Structure 1
Amino acid sequence: MSESPGGAVSLATAPAIDPPPRAATADRVVPRRRPGRWIATAVVLVLLAQFVHGLATNPFYQWDRFGYWFWRPTILDGLLITLEVTAWSAVLGLLGGILLALARLSGSPVLRAVSWTYVWVLRSVPLIVVLLFLYNFSALYKTLSLGVPFGPALFTFDESRLATDMAVAVVGLSLNEAAYAAEVVRGGILSVDQGQHEAAAALGLPRAHRFRRIVFPQALRSITPNYVNQLIGLIKSTSLVFYVSLLDLFGTAQSMGSTYPGDIVPLLLVVTVWYLILTTVVSVAQFYVERYYARGATRALPPTPLQRLRNGLADVRERLRRETAV
């Protein structure tokens, strides 16, 4: 620092101030130790290993017979029937649920009352009762007719020809599914912000166009996880069609178990594994559908399982690199 002739102080020649000496070794962040987590992990792994060991070594499961029955044509035929019943019931049940939900939200008191009554009755009656009632429907009505109320019939149908085993199963499951899907769809529609309805109405869009292009796509974010959960329940509910003489996956296993009583356990394991496969496929589809409809609603899309695996491996490599560098 120097003083100029005019008395001003100049900083140009001020001596430099040395920074404080740095530590010999930089401070390293040490993660917090969590012994309870490691103990719980070890206990779970031990129990899981014991469970797997019991499955693999217990002769009661008869894994050789399991492998024999798993790909048998009779089991695969029952699986195809299960898939067919599930597909038809899921589509018809969802369509019926949408109509019932719209009727429940309509301004007509008659439509609201009919929709509420339908949902109330079908959710109160067990599914097996509905299937058995439809299976014995021909005892109540020999023929079905369409015509003028309290007047002549224009068309008459033979109920016994229409009510095949497949038709009874699909109709019964669809009627039951529509009652639950109606509440799922109604809840999804109500979850859409009211401002969206008002903004669409302010634009002068027709009511049907507002629902199809604005309300329903936003409601799908709430409908999808709930309805997929209902769809998984539907897959398992198809096992009840065995009681209306339709040999689905479970019915085929029951029939084969009666013929081969020594293979009951392997057959039940075959059915269990196939149901696990079906529900896993539906769960994977649910993830990608939810991820698709999450666009614009979240800052970042949730990572896929492959992306999670890559990120996990990258974290492990980075952690190993840091530990070896110390």
Structure 2
Amino acid sequence: MLKFNGHRREITADPTDPALKPRLRRRSTFEYAAWIVCCLLALGILLSVATNPNFKWGVVAKYFTHETIIRGLMLTIFLTVASMILGTLLGLVLAIMRSSSIKPIAVTAGVYITLFRGTPVLVQLIFWFNIAALYPNLTIGIPFTDVSAAIDINALMAPITAALIGLTLNEAAYMAEIIRGGFSSVGKGQIEAADSLGMSGAMKMRKVIIPQAMPSIIPATGNQVIGMFKETSLVSVLGVAELLQS
């Protein structure tokens, strides 16, 4: 739409213009041959799986909706959702710490991220499950006062608790790097503009950095959700009756 001396004039594209028509790509003979080979291969695999009596599909169909399987699936979904939510929140805190200009805070977050990303998840799960062997009783209190509370780690660290703690702490390390990468994608000009407006650090993070970092964070977080759903199978070694053990 154009304006001339206060008058508006609309310009619309001509749909019959050849330049606006989408270009058609000519398919080669090799592409058709590749499609045929792929379809035949997929059909052969499906027929082999469907007709193989060793799979016993009748038994699979009978037990697939069994109450035990459904309970295991629900527990797997719970572990995935809870670990992702808690891990993302903790990862956000770690990402802010890692980006801090205060060296001890940044180094502490860096050590945490390196430690939990550098050790296998299974090892971490077993460690938290057996933490009571190192700290059977833990006392939390205010220094130089009589205010304290004793915690029985043996009673607290049930298999499901150890699984949730292990998955959450491990996921937080990965989410911290994903979120920090999202922070880095925000242009310097945006941060300088927020500073020029007198925004505080918290407001700048909430109003400027996080909203603009989300397009970079969300796709990677989706991959982490898929990975977490599969990683929950590791908690079966702790005796947690998730989907794999069920």
- CA change 1:243–1:199 in 2 (3 A) is same
Match of 1:199 in 2: 193
Match of 1:124 in 2: 118
Query: Conserved in 2, the CA contact under 8 Å of 1:123 and 1:176?
Result: yes
Counterpart residue identity of residue 45, structure 1? C
Match of 1:163 in 2: 157
| Paired residue secondary structure (2:240) | coil
Counterparts of 2:80 and 2:192 in 1: how far apart (Å)?
38
Counterparts of 1:164 and 1:61 in 2: how far apart (Å)?
36
Q: Is 1:87 aligned with 2:87?
A: no
Q: What does 1:150-299 align with in structure 2 at a 5 Å threshold?
A: 154-252=148-246
Counterpart residue identity of residue 141, structure 1? Y
Counterparts of 1:135 and 1:39 in 2: how far apart (Å)?
55
Match of 1:143 in 2: 137
Distance apart, 1:30 and its partner CA: 9.3
Q: What RMSD in Å do the two structures reach over aligned CA positions?
A: 1.8
| Paired residue secondary structure (2:150) | strand
Counterparts of 2:25 and 2:135 in 1: how far apart (Å)?
74
Query: Conserved in 2, the CA contact under 8 Å of 1:188 and 1:219?
Result: yes
- CA change 1:50–1:107 in 2 (3 A) is same
Counterparts of 2:176 and 2:226 in 1: how far apart (Å)?
16
| Paired residue secondary structure (2:191) | helix
| Paired residue secondary structure (1:106) | coil
Query: Conserved in 2, the CA contact under 8 Å of 1:145 and 1:153?
Result: no
Distance apart, 1:82 and its partner CA: 0.6
Counterparts of 2:25 and 2:151 in 1: how far apart (Å)?
76
Distance apart, 1:63 and its partner CA: 0.9
Counterparts of 1:55 and 1:201 in 2: how far apart (Å)?
62
Q: Is 1:73 aligned with 2:67?
A: yes
Counterpart residue identity of residue 169, structure 2? L
Counterpart residue identity of residue 93, structure 1? G
Shift >6 Å, 4+ stretches? 150-153
Could you give the per-residue CA deviations for residues 237-290 of structure 1, whole angstroms, max 9, x where no partner exists? 1001111111100011xxxxxxxxxxxxxxxxxxxxxxxxxxxxxxxxxxxxxx
- 5+ residue gaps, structure 1: 1-28, 253-326
Distance apart, 1:152 and its partner CA: 6.4
Distance apart, 1:98 and its partner CA: 0.4
- CA change 1:153–1:218 in 2 (3 A) is same
Counterparts of 2:26 and 2:35 in 1: how far apart (Å)?
17
- CA change 1:150–1:115 in 2 (3 A) is farther
Counterparts of 1:30 and 1:79 in 2: how far apart (Å)?
46
- CA change 1:101–1:33 in 2 (3 A) is closer
Counterparts of 2:184 and 2:131 in 1: how far apart (Å)?
37
Q: Is 1:40 aligned with 2:34?
A: yes
Quick check: which has more Rg, 1 or 2?
A: 1
- CA change 1:149–1:123 in 2 (3 A) is farther
| 1:102 pairs with one of 89, 92, 96 | 96
Counterparts of 2:193 and 2:152 in 1: how far apart (Å)?
51
Query: Conserved in 2, the CA contact under 8 Å of 1:242 and 1:251?
Result: yes
Q: How many pairs does the alignment contain?
A: 224
| Paired residue secondary structure (1:250) | coil
Counterparts of 2:106 and 2:36 in 1: how far apart (Å)?
56
- 5+ residue gaps, structure 2: 1-22
| Paired residue secondary structure (1:155) | strand
Structure showing greater relative contact order (alpha-carbon pairs closer than 8 Å, 6 or more residues apart): 2
Query: Conserved in 2, the CA contact under 8 Å of 1:119 and 1:179?
Result: yes
- CA change 1:193–1:58 in 2 (3 A) is same
- CA change 1:194–1:57 in 2 (3 A) is same
